[in-house]
Amino acid sequence: MAKKITKNDYVFLFRGGANPADMTPQQMKTTMNNWMTWMSELKKRKQLTLGHPLGDGGKVLSGAKGKNVKVFKDDKDAIGGFLLIKATSLADATKIAKGCPIFNNGGTVELRLVERM
């Protein structure tokens, strides 16, 4: 069932961070445990609505009728995943995002209010 967007929904877009191919099994385990712990806390506080990692090998289309195509693989600017978060304001969303484990590996989080149509 689709989630209904409310006036307090923010999307967190994740870019960069550690490349799993460059991590030891222990580093990967620690990283995944950090993400699971953080997201579990968000769920407990009823702040996490939805979230998923995104697959590799996407495309960016631009130009007239999308004729210019950029295929990305391990592009540090590519969005690697997202969360849909309940927050009372951008300041509240920022406070929530500051606990994100992506910062441990040099990644970034973009916060955007989801506009209802």
pLDDT at 1 over 50: no
Kindly list the structural domains of the chain, giving each domain's residue range(s) and its CATH number in brackets, ordered by start. Answer: 10-113 (3.30.70.1060)
Which tens digits make up the pLDDT trace of 25-83? 999 999 999 999 999 999 999 999 999 988 877 777 777 777 777 766 656 677 889 99
Which tens digits make up the pLDDT trace of 68-108? 777 666 566 778 899 999 999 999 999 999 999 999 999 99
Report yes or no: 14 and 81 within 8 Å, Cβ to Cβ. Answer: yes
Q: Which long-range contacts (CB under 8 A, 24 or more apart) does 96-99 make?
A: 96/42, 96/47, 97/12, 99/38, 99/41
Mean pLDDT (the chain, rounded): 87
13: nearest Cα among 117, 99, 111: 111
Q: Which residues contact 4 (CB under 8 A, 6 or more apart)?
A: none
More confident residue, 2 or 14: 14
Strands 9-15 and 48-53: unpaired
